[in-house]
Amino acid sequence: MNPAHAALREAVRFAAARRLYGTVILELPHVRATLAGAFADLLAADAAPDPATAYRLRTGALRELAVVMGARGYLRGGTHAAFGATMWTLLGTPPPPDDPAGFDAGLLQAARHALIRWRAARRLGQGDFRADGHWIRAVLLRVAGHRSGAVRPLPDPLTEALVTVLTHPTTGGPEPCGPPPTRQEAPMSEADIRQWLTGRIAGHLGIAPEEIDPGVKLRTYGLDSLDAMTLCVDIEEEYGLTVEPTLVWDHPTVESIAGRLASLLATASTGP
């Protein structure tokens, strides 16, 4: 197991055993959010092809976990020495040279590679969290936060999904948290697809669906590359279609995306 992931597991064990004012701290919302956020950052680091980006994500995650551990996170001996050893080793390692393209570009690369890993897991039919949409959405949200300099706690459903994975370890990796979600019967008309797209995009942008004009370019509303990747996850889970983030740039409005998806669905329904 990657040392940073081992440190995360140690922090989870500590949180499950530590009581504060009569409550196991693992049940505290802030602790759960911290563990989930660190997990998402480590998953992004695993996908990052740039060593400097991976290093920054891992060290940042360890610093967040050290807050959960308290003073014990810095000890080299005792019950939780494994966390302290990883902490000191990683923080004491000289960081890799920065990629000339910078941290922002490294984060985008990590997001793209994470999306590729999620799709590969779905194709292989893996029954654990790697085929589930929660982790890739969490990674994309955390990457977006790092890019903007405003990393926020993950939404509760994503936090709970990732904490569930962390609290069910096995020798071979995380306990399966259920098969990949089965795609519901999706509406096939272009109008229905347009309505569904409007709702999803509005949710990602934090605006009301009524504010989105189907004929206006989505870039006008602030849709960026990470939003486009998240929309690809939405489309794949809802309609079973694998599309690339460039879909949003090739078909820049809700109206044109809906037309493209309707065409792809019609082709898929008729077969080769």
- What does the DSSP assignment read for 154-211? PPHHHHHHHHHHHTSEETTEEPP--SPPPPP----SHHHHHHHHHHHHHHHHTS-GGG
Q: pLDDT tens-digit profile of 214-254? A: 999 999 999 999 999 999 999 999 999 999 989 999 999 99
Residue type, 110: A
CA quadruple 121, 125, 129, 131: dihedral positive or negative?
positive
Query: Residue 128's pLDDT is what?
Result: 67
Taking residues 169-188, report their average pLDDT.
45
Average pLDDT, the chain: 86
Domains of the chain: 3-174 (1.20.140), 190-270 (1.10.1200.10)
> CA 155 to CA 30: how far, in whole Å?
12
- Residue 174 has a pLDDT of 40
For residues 153 and 157, what is the distance between their CA atoms, to the nearest angstrom? 11
**Least confident interval from 9-18, 61-70, 135-144, 162-171:** 162-171
Residue 253 near residue 217 (C-beta atoms within 8 A): yes
Band the pLDDT of 262: cuts 50, 70, 90: very high
**What are the backbone angles phi and psi of residue 174, rounded to the nearest 5°?**
-60, 145
Cα gap 117→130, rounded to integer Å: 8
Output the six-digit token pair for 167: 């609290």
Hey, how many other C-beta atoms are within 10 angstroms of the C-beta on 232? Answer: 23
In this predicted structure, the answer to whether residue 190 has a pLDDT above a threshold of 50 is yes
Helices of type H across 51-183: 51-69, 81-92, 103-124, 133-148, 156-166
Burial (Cβ within 10 Å: 0-12, 13-18, ≥19) of residue 3: middle
What pLDDT score was predicted for residue 116? Answer: 93
- Region 28-55: what's the mean pLDDT? 95
Crossing angle (nearest 10°) for helices 3-17 and 156-166: 100
Q: Measured in Å, how far apart are the chain's first and last C-alpha atoms?
A: 43
3-class secondary structure, 95: coil
* pLDDT per position as a tens digit, 77-87: 666 777 888 88
CA 266 remoteness from chain centre: 31
